[in-house]
């Protein structure tokens, strides 16, 4: 399982967000460059349609591949009240022929994306990961070098943390309290519940930039 | 990783495997001064596509296997033999396959038995039986040579050791013999340096051979 919230930020404020995150987490950012392929089952395969993602980490000297399956979100009145989406997530690192493998099983490429940005991994009540990335689409199949932004000027921010059925309430609490620190710059909500950019972003960014510039890190 | 050959027992025409043969093979390993060193196990699952209509089943691979090896419990290997494809994954891929609900495991076979050390060689002799069943479906043997990891370079010494083994076993006049199938690893995109993926491909090959043998001895039905 994982807990997840998402938000968007204007690219002009990303640098300020990075300064804020750096200050909050106390760790250095990692560069992020992930080629994501979304595969869907062909028409005759399975009793219901299924979907699986292949993630190729292009930041590694030798690109590494991961298969990711995102399951259903937790439901019920309790789940609706919490500000974080809790969903099942399974991942497996795989050898580099994973795409050919899923094609052979009868899966088809639905779409592919390239996420470029940075990530922070740190422990703050839970093992939290914050990624800030621009989402790009490929004009030609698999041509990651010629990718263009899907939403120019806007980047996606995602906060995730692994959880289990035993500890998810604590993880939800940790994620939502962390999100409060980011509130002046961006608002984070459950995926699919878009809340747009926040009006205070410009002022908060200006303040962070002037402060960040004067502080030796 | 040290190279190994995986061999299976081929019964003589008109005979089948039985536990007495397995006992004799194990005794033979001890007879050539093999030192018993615990157990080993591998499990092979057969995956089949889940389709709404039976007619569509032929669109999807029918020789799709999942393999787990006791020496690498965190890994899982998926082989589609007809397409010369072997995928190495973490064992969590099994959960993903379950969640996708597009393929299900039909049958699972356990390969398990004793391990013997003979100098630089390691022999693993075991029975092939369906999961949760004792019924013997075959006999398998892993022959590993620890100092070498190149398939090509190990060929001569492995061949010599196999001859020695065959000779020792022939004294027992058993109704069958061990067969070594050498898959074309290059077709699977594997190099000369031995890896667990080579092991998975060998298991898939002997599985295909064992199924073919079993089908050929079954009486023809009208």
Per-residue pLDDT of chain B (222 residues; tens, 9 = 90+): 999 999 999 999 889 899 999 999 999 999 999 999 999 999 999 999 999 888 888 899 999 999 999 999 999 999 999 999 999 999 999 999 999 999 999 889 999 999 999 999 999 999 999 988 888 999 999 999 999 999 999 999 999 999 999 999 999 999 999 999 999 999 999 999 999 999 999 999 999 988 887 777 665 444
Cβ contact (<8 Å) for A105 and B64? yes
Number of helices (H), then strands (E), in chain B = 4, 9
Predicted local confidence at residue A193, as pLDDT: 83
Fold of domain A2-212? Hypothetical Protein Pfu-838710-001 (2.40.320)
In a domain, B72, yes or no: yes
Predicted local confidence at residue B54, as pLDDT: 83
Predicted local confidence at residue A212, as pLDDT: 55
CA A98 to CA A91: how far, in whole Å? 13
Question: A40 to chain B, minimum CA–CA distance in Å?
Answer: 10
CA nearest A69 in B: which residue? B96
Cβ contact (<8 Å) for A94 and B60? no
Size of the A and B interface in Cβ pairs below 8 Å: 90
Q: What tokens were used for B176? A: 């069958």
Quick one: CA dihedral B18, B23, B26, B28, positive or negative? negative
Predicted local confidence at residue B222, as pLDDT: 43
Rg of chain A in Å (alpha carbons): 18
Tell me which chain A residues have a C-beta less than 8 angstroms from the C-beta of B95: 90
Cβ contact (<8 Å) for A101 and B80? yes
Tell me which chain A residues have a C-beta less than 8 angstroms from the C-beta of B99: 50, 69, 71, 88, 90
In a domain, B55, yes or no: yes
Domain total for chain B?
1
How many of the other CB atoms lie within 10 Å of CB of A132? 23
Q: What are phi and psi of A76, to 5 degrees?
A: 105, 170
**Confidence grade of residue A106 (pLDDT, cut at 50, 70, 90):** very high
Helices (H), chain B: 19-31, 93-100, 155-170, 196-217
- Give the three-class secondary structure for A5: strand
Question: A7 to chain B, minimum CA–CA distance in Å?
Answer: 28
In a domain, B222, yes or no: no
Predicted local confidence at residue B134, as pLDDT: 83
Burial of residue A79 (CB within 10 Å: 0-12, 13-18, 19+) is: middle
How many of the other CB atoms lie within 10 Å of CB of B32? 15
Tell me which chain A residues have a C-beta less than 8 angstroms from the C-beta of B59: 42, 44-45, 106
How many of the other CB atoms lie within 10 Å of CB of B5? 21
Q: Distances in Å between the alpha carbon of B47 and those of A15, A95, A188, A198, B196?
A: 49, 19, 41, 50, 20
Predicted local confidence at residue A217, as pLDDT: 44
Q: Where are the beta strands (DSSP E) in chain A?
A: 2-10, 30-41, 51-57, 64-73, 85-94, 107-123, 127-138, 147-149, 154-162
Range of the structural domain that residue B155 is part of: 3-217
Cβ contact (<8 Å) for B96 and A41? no
Name the nearest CA neighbour of A13 among A161, A185, A170. Answer: A185
Name the nearest CA neighbour of B49 among B59, B37, B39. Answer: B59
Tell me whether A201 touches chain B (CB under 8 Å).
no
Predicted local confidence at residue A214, as pLDDT: 46
Query: Smallest Cβ distance to B51: which of A44, A52, A101?
Result: A44
CATH number at residue B91: 2.40.320
Q: Distances in Å between the alpha carbon of B121 and those of B38, B148, B171?
A: 15, 11, 21
Cβ contact (<8 Å) for A106 and B93? no
Kindly provide the ipTM of the predicted complex, given to two decimals: 0.92
Cβ contact (<8 Å) for B89 and A52? no
Query: Smallest Cβ distance to B87: which of A46, A90, A98?
Result: A98
- E strand or H helix at A201: helix A201-214
Residues A30, A20 contacting (CB under 8 angstroms): no
Tell me whether A98 touches chain B (CB under 8 Å).
yes
- pLDDT tens readout for residues A14-41: 999 999 999 999 999 999 999 999 999 9
For chain A, what are the domain ranges? 2-212
CA A120 to CA B159: how far, in whole Å? 54
pLDDT greater than 80 at residue A145? yes
Predicted local confidence at residue A51, as pLDDT: 97
Number of helices (H), then strands (E), in chain A = 5, 9
CA B12 to CA A62: how far, in whole Å? 49
List, in order, residues 6 or more apart from B97 with CB less than 8 Å away: B47, B66, B103
B97-112 in b/e form (b: 16+ CB < 10 A) is bebbebbebeeebbbb
Query: Smallest Cβ distance to B59: which of A95, A106, A107?
Result: A106
Q: What are phi and psi of A95, to 5 degrees?
A: -70, 170
């Amino acid at each position: 399982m994982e807990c997840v919230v998402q938000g968007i930020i204007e690219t002009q404020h990303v640098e300020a967000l990075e300064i804020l995150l750096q200050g909050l987490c106390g760790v250095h950012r990692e560069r992020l460059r992930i080629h994501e392929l979304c595969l869907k089952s062909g028409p005759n395969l399975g009793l219901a349609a299924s979907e699986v993602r292949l993630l190729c980490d292009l930041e590694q000297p030798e690109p590494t591949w991961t298969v990711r399956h995102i399951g259903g979100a937790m439901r019920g009145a309790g789940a609706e009240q919490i500000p974080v989406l809790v969903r099942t997530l399974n991942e497996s690192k795989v050898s580099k022929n994973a795409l050919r493998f899923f094609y052979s099983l009868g899966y088809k490429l639905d779409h592919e994306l390239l996420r470029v940005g940075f990530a922070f991994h740190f422990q703050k009540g839970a093992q939290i990961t914050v990624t800030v990335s621009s989402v790009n689409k490929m004009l030609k199949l698999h041509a990651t070098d010629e990718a263009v932004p899907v939403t120019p000027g806007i980047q996606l921010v995602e906060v995730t943390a692994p959880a289990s059925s035993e500890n998810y309430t604590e993880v939800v609490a940790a994620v939502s309290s962390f999100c409060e620190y980011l509130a002046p710059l961006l608002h984070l909500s459950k995926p699919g519940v878009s809340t747009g950019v926040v009006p205070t972003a410009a002022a908060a960014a200006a303040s962070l930039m002037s402060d960040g510039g004067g502080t030796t890190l | 990783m040290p190279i190994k050959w995986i061999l299976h027992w081929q019964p003589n025409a008109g005979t089948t495997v039985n536990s007495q043969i397995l006992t004799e093979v194990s005794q033979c390993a001890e007879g050539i001064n093999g030192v018993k060193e615990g157990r080993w196990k591998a499990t092979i699952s057969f995956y089949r596509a889940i389709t709404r209509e039976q007619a569509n089943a032929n669109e999807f691979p029918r020789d799709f296997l999942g393999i787990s090896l006791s020496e690498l419990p965190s890994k899982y290997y998926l082989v589609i033999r007809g397409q010369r494809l072997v995928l190495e994954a973490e064992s969590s891929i099994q959960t993903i396959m379950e969640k996708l609900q597009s393929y299900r495991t039909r049958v699972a076979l356990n390969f398990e038995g004793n391990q013997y050390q003979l100098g630089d060689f390691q022999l693993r002799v075991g029975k092939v039986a369906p999961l949760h069943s004792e019924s013997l479906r075959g006999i398998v043997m892993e022959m590993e040579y620890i100092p070498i990891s190149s398939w090509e370079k190990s060929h001569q010494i492995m061949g010599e050791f196999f001859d020695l083994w065959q000779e020792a076993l022939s004294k027992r006049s058993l109704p069958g013999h061990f067969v070594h199938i050498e898959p074309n690893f290059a077709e699977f995109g594997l190099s000369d340096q031995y890896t667990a993926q080579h092991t998975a491909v060998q298991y898939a090959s002997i599985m295909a051979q064992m199924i073919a043998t079993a089908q050929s001895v079954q009486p023809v039905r009208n």
